[in-house]
Structure 1
Amino acid sequence: MRIHVIADQADKDGGHFHERLLQRGAELVALDRDDLPSYASIGQTDLVFLLGSDRSAHEPKWKSVVEAESTFVRTALQVGTPVMGICYGAQLMARALGGTSWRADVPELGWQRVDTVDTVLCPEGPWAQMHSDVFAPPPTAQVIGTSWRGPQCFIDDSLGARSIAWQFHPEVTAATYERWVHEGYYGAPGVDTKDLIRQAHAHAAASRNLAHTLTDHALTYLGVA
């Protein structure tokens, strides 16, 4: 199982998802989204995995990067390669398939439960949230998870292969979440950062188990051995 992981050069940590994928014998190949090659040049791959980012897919300064990754995603799906994405990756996938994204009024933070119509591909959690953007799903997608701030998970197979995207962070470890908090990744003044870190460590063990199970279910849905 060969998986190409698209991420920022400065943050390529796939956390619990990477851990589970490696346990299942996957070879993970990192791709820098700022210098993304063409899909045709990467060789054999079974899955494309889009990680999160501290940027926003709708910001004009990232237009060329977003367009390149969107083209990569569409090409992968058109030739039969499934795609899954997290947070920024979900927003990117939404835009690539005909949806959009924008800046939220307030960020969504901490461990939150989601409303779901599919407890296998989008369990209610609670899941880690850390984002300042909202996406509108593509018209061809089926939204299977929401919060009061917007969509949290969608699936789509309109281009041939299956795709799945989560707005929340099922992959994040307590250590990474704490690092994001200290780096001000959430971008919101007046937030109780100590409480966010407390939540991260309080949910650490359960989050790992949930993430491993979700990884397995996602691979089954996407048809990846």
Structure 2
Amino acid sequence: MQNVWVVADDTDREGGYVVERLREVAQRVSYVDRDELTGEALGAADDLVLLLGSVRSAHDPAQAAVVEAEAATIGASLDAGVPVLGICYGAQLLARALGGTSYRGPRLEIGLIEVETDDPTLCPPGPWAQSHSDVFVAPPTSRVLGRTDVGPQAIADTSRAARALAWQFHPEVVPTTFARWARGDAEAARAIGVDAEAVIAEVAAAASASRERARLLTDAAVSWLTARA
């Protein structure tokens, strides 16, 4: 793999364990501000596009122009033979680019949560860190790999010139980043009976195991995404 193009908000480029591993297997990792996407493909066939999460909602009308440009960039990249990997908001954008959608979920998912899986290689059961209120609807061309009672947790798609894979959960997140997210969602967590400080401590205690799971999952994802048909 030559280059990894990491699409992220300009104010939040924390790729954590996943980007840490990608730096070890790719020649270069470059960040791209998602507000500057134009709909044109990123990279070449030997590259990878990684879509990180965001505080935005993909179904927010105020973000429609940014969402449309990123979805067009995803589609153009896949059609150009560049595989795409999405995480959380990135998974929602990938779903939308392939014909699915996203919406506000019934409740916040936060903390270390196990996933019911149909593919333990590309979507192991975890537990995985979660911090989101939005849910994606899988495109008709995609295979759902895992789920919780709130919604899909992973999809894989082989309908374009390059492969696409997405996770709603956060394999990349490190304890300090998760703590910031959880404290920002403390009120919503309290509403569903979850203590933010308790889940922050849980994620911190599991850091070593989470990092190893993330490294293994990143390797599996890269292997699958870059496989030739």
Cα distance in structure 2, aligned partners of 1:77 and 1:112: 30
Q: How does 1:145-184 map to 2 (within 5 A)?
A: 145-182=146-183, 184=184
The answer to whether the 8 A contact 2:3-2:43 is kept is no
Per-residue CA distance 1:69-106 (angstroms, 9 max, x = gap): 00000000111110000000001111111101100121
The aligned counterpart of 2:198 is 195
Question: 1:25–1:156: structure 2 CA closer, same or farther, 3 Å change rule?
Answer: closer
The aligned counterpart of 2:131 is 130
Cα distance in structure 2, aligned partners of 1:3 and 1:70: 18
The aligned counterpart of 1:10 is 11
The aligned counterpart of 1:219 is 222
So what's the TM-score if we normalise by structure 1?
A: 0.94
Deviation at 1:196, TM superposition (A): 1.6
Cα distance in structure 2, aligned partners of 1:39 and 1:185: 35
Question: 1:186–1:10: structure 2 CA closer, same or farther, 3 Å change rule?
Answer: farther
Cα distance in structure 1, aligned partners of 2:189 and 2:124: 30
> RMSD value over aligned CA atoms?
1.7
The answer to whether the 8 A contact 1:145-1:153 is kept is yes
Q: Which runs of 5+ in 1 are unaligned?
A: none
Cα distance in structure 2, aligned partners of 1:181 and 1:136: 24
Q: How does 1:111-122 map to 2 (within 5 A)?
A: 111-122=112-123
Question: 1:76–1:185: structure 2 CA closer, same or farther, 3 Å change rule?
Answer: farther
So what's the TM-score if we normalise by structure 2?
A: 0.93
Deviation at 1:185, TM superposition (A): 4.6
Amino acid at match of 1:213: L
Moved segments of 4+, more than 2 Å: 37-40, 42-45
Question: 1:108–1:186: structure 2 CA closer, same or farther, 3 Å change rule?
Answer: farther
Specify the SS of the correspondent of 1:188.
helix
Amino acid at match of 2:79: Q
1:66 aligns with 2:67: yes
Deviation at 1:22, TM superposition (A): 1.1
Q: Which runs of 5+ in 2 are unaligned?
A: none
Number of residue pairs the alignment of both structures matches: 223
Cα distance in structure 2, aligned partners of 1:93 and 1:38: 13
Deviation at 1:38, TM superposition (A): 4.5
